[in-house]
Amino acid sequence: MSKRTVLVTGGARGIGKGIAQSFLEAGCNVMIADLAQGDGWRYRLATDAEAAATSRELADLGDVRYTPVDVTDAASCAAAVQATLDAFGALDVLVNNAGVVDSGPIEQFTERQWEHIFAVNVKGVFLMTQAALAGLRASADAAIVNTASIAGKRGAPNMAAYCGSKFAVVGITQSFALELAGDGIRVNALCPGMVATAMWQDHLMANRGEAAFEDRMRDLIPLGRPQTVEDMGQAAVYLATAPNVSGVALNVAGAYQMH
Ligand code: NAD
């Protein structure tokens, strides 16, 4: 993969950081794109400072930069793509990984919660892909990896917005795979199982601690442990490199879900 350029949204922390690390280890240039200002959601999202710290931490592995992006905003997506082209002269792999979660009974769920989940998780994939297309078409080896979820394959109570958004990502992935095949652009989805990031620690199992998360996942997951950001990075690199794989939604979930 040497010297392919990869843009990872939501790359400041969590799964996106793991994906950035794996692409750097595979010899790529990486642009981390994330929110500059992490306020305004049910739990704290990433900040400029966090993204800058991640870039510094990963710098020993290769050329990694940071650019701010809000994936719900078309002009911001275009600016992040332009920053990548300015920094590295190319864009070969787009990883649409930015995402937010919220949960709760349908009668208490607000329109604002619903709309923001769809704005980030679904519209964000569309806007970033649209902004990146010219760059990807100019690449001889282009791929898109969308972070969906096992929640994009099976519904869950109190999770209609999140599950609906991730089902949408799987459908978008299949559609883009067909639409962009003629350009030689492969498009796949990564479906993580359960990874101990802010989504779990600060929201879904807030205040219950890492040990409680580990115990619960050991019971639930047939392979006996939660997934890690490294598991996700490895799978993302596979999806971006496999020459004849496109349109799949790959579960990385320790046999917790199989379809
Ligand atoms: P996370 O909260 O640590 O990471 C999400 C990142 O997206 C954050 O850095 C956040 O700042 C960024 N982001 C949010 N809104 C944004 C916006 N408008 N513009 C740009 N960036 C924005 O959580 P994570 O678990 O690392 O999530 C990464 C992806 O993995 C998400 O798409 C999530 O839905 C998916 N996922 C996570 C799990 C899990 O178990 N953690 C499971 C399945 C899927």
Q: Please state the domain extents for the chain.
A: 5-196+228-252
Atom of ligand 1 nearest to the CA of 50: 9
How many residues are given for the chain? 259
Task: Assess whether pLDDT exceeds 80 at residue 241.
Answer: yes
pLDDT tens digit sequence for 127-157: 999 999 999 999 999 999 999 999 999 999 9
For the entire predicted model, the pTM comes to 0.98
pLDDT tens digit sequence for 36-60: 888 989 999 999 999 999 999 999 9
Give me the pLDDT at residue 249, please.
98
Q: Coil, helix or strand for 5?
A: strand
Q: Which position has the token pair 């349109």? A: 247
Q: Return the best residue to mutate from 37, 44, 45, 113 for the ligand 1 pocket (most ligand atoms within 8 A of CB).
A: 45
Phi-psi region of 228 (alpha: psi -120 to 50; beta: other; left: phi over 0): beta
Name the CATH superfamily for 5-196+228-252. Answer: NAD(P)-binding Rossmann-like Domain (3.40.50.720)
Give me the pLDDT at residue 208, please.
83
Q: Coil, helix or strand for 153?
A: coil
Pairwise CA distance, residues 132 & 126, whole Å: 10
Q: Cα torsion at 156, 161, 164, 168 (round to 10°)? A: -150
Phi, psi of 187 (to 5 degrees): -130, 120
pLDDT tens digit sequence for 58-83: 999 999 999 999 999 999 999 999 99
Atom of ligand 1 nearest to the CA of 43: 2
pLDDT tens digit sequence for 163-213: 999 999 999 999 999 999 999 999 999 999 999 999 988 888 887 888 888
pLDDT tens digit sequence for 92-132: 999 999 999 999 999 999 999 999 999 999 999 999 999 99
In 78-178, where do the E strands start and end?
Answer: 93-96, 143-147
Residue with the smallest CA separation from ligand 1 atom 19 is: 70
| Confidence band of 2 (pLDDT split at 50, 70, 90) | low
Atom of ligand 1 nearest to the CA of 151: 43
Q: Which residues are catalytic?
A: 162
Give me the pLDDT at residue 114, please.
98
By the 8 A CB rule, do 58 and 24 touch? yes
Residues with CB under 6 A from ligand 1: 9-10, 12-16, 34-35, 38, 45-46, 69-72, 97-101, 120, 147, 149, 192, 194-195, 197-200
Task: Assess whether pLDDT exceeds 70 at residue 1.
Answer: no
By the 8 A CB rule, do 28 and 93 touch? yes
